[in-house]
Amino acid sequence: MVKIDLITGFLGSGKTTFLLKYARYLMNKGFKIGILEYDYGAVNVDMLLLNKLRCDKCELEMVAAACDEDCLKRRFRTKLIAMAMSGYDRVIVEPSGVFDMDMFFDTLRDDDTLERMYEIGSVITIVNANLSDNGDAEEDFFLASQAASAGCILLSRAQLSSTENIEKTKAHLQRAAESIRCKIRGKYIAKDWEELTDSDFEIIAGSGYFSNDYMKTIAGGKTEFDSVCFLDLKDDLEGAQKKIKTLFLDESYGKIIRVKGFVCDKDGGYQLNATRHEILTDLISIGQGVFIVIGTALNKNKIRELMYS
């Protein structure tokens, strides 16, 4: 049987950054791995980042999540069957940050074919160590439902946080879990990711998961997320940052939850990851102006006018 891991985390938590490190650890241990990415939109920005992992020990697959639930389950099942037949030792699934945990467990457990092919390994949930108290019920639903199933809750940017803020983040997660009638039982790891050792990754890889029932709130169960994608944008770093700030500040564009992508600047390529709380930038070799905007009630025409202006 192939072991399958799930890496979850709300939008902007740092899932892909961790996945790059986790995949390299597994490959260094001699495992052949397959990574299954799915996200909203026609352009999967994370796949562009993960392409550097492609080699004889690692392959990437993608499922487009911008469809109804039944369609997504069919695509997910088909991909998993194909990957189980490809000789991987371990499959890693990285879904969108607005992810219904039931889809993962129900697809694997309610399908005799997949149940014979896969053994669930670990559920790893990434949470920002400086979690804001300004999140809404919708965000808290995803934070809690994902963390409640995790064997390991890995705090991102812990080195930029204080002990007090980390404890506040844990308390926030616990309150969010109580609001949907579940518990968080996974092990917390709060450490600079640059200092993660093989021993740390061994703990993470073997952390397992927890089965949890939880109340599906209206926010969590019925919200319709949407996305709009952009190719060949000509903005430099400063121009892109200004437009992203405008998207978050002006409600007429819709409820913007996440913006991510790449810009070309005189200093080289930059990766941008933005939530309403922060815009993170990193130098990167990708030289293509690509962006995806994710949210609800999006005014797509107005967003396009801004991004192409």
Give the model confidence (pLDDT) of 39-97 as tens digits.
665 556 777 788 889 999 999 998 876 667 777 788 899 999 999 999 999 999 999 88
pLDDT of res. 221: 47
pLDDT of res. 65: 64
The residue with greater pLDDT, 48 or 299, is 299
Domains observed in the chain = 2-220 (3.40.50.300), 224-307 (3.30.1220.10)
Picking from 295, 288, 291, the residue whose alpha carbon sits closest to that of residue 308 is 291
Q: What is the pLDDT of residues 149-160, one digit of tens each?
A: 999 999 999 999
Give the Cα separation of 60 and 40 in Å (integer): 17
Please check the confidence at residue 220 and state whether its pLDDT lies above 50. no
The overall average pLDDT reported for the chain is 89
pLDDT confidence tier of residue 290, bands split at 50, 70 and 90: confident
Give the Cα separation of 91 and 26 in Å (integer): 11
Judge whether 2 and 91 are in contact, CB under 8 Å.
yes
Q: What is the pLDDT of residues 24-39, one digit of tens each?
A: 999 999 999 999 998 6
- Cα–Cα distances in Å, from 237 out to 44, 142, 232, 249, 253? 20, 31, 14, 19, 21
Determine how β-strand 268-274 pairs with β-strand 118-128: unpaired
pLDDT of res. 135: 65
Give the Cα separation of 141 and 10 in Å (integer): 10
Worst-scoring range by mean pLDDT, 63-77, 104-118, 217-231, 244-258? Answer: 217-231
Please check the confidence at residue 134 and state whether its pLDDT lies above 80. no
Residue 273 belongs to what H/E stretch?
strand 268-274
Give the Cα separation of 210 and 49 in Å (integer): 30
Q: What is the pLDDT of residues 259-280, one digit of tens each?
A: 988 888 887 888 898 988 889 8
pLDDT of res. 146: 94
The residue with greater pLDDT, 269 or 21, is 21
pLDDT of res. 163: 94
CA angle 201/203/206 to nearest 5° reads 105
pTM: 0.88
DSSP characters for 55-81?
Answer: BTTEEEEEEE--S-HHHHHHHHHHHHH
Please check the confidence at residue 218 and state whether its pLDDT lies above 60. no
DSSP characters for 125-193?
Answer: EEEETT--TT--HHHHHHHHHHHHTBSEEEEETGGGS-HHHHHHHHHHHHHHHHHTT----SEEEE--G
pLDDT confidence tier of residue 286, bands split at 50, 70 and 90: low
pLDDT of res. 43: 58
- Cα–Cα distances in Å, from 227 out to 40, 248, 291? 6, 14, 10
pLDDT confidence tier of residue 22, bands split at 50, 70 and 90: very high
The residue with greater pLDDT, 266 or 239, is 239
Please check the confidence at residue 222 and state whether its pLDDT lies above 60. no
Judge whether 127 and 155 are in contact, CB under 8 Å.
yes
Q: What is the DSSP letter of 41?
A: S
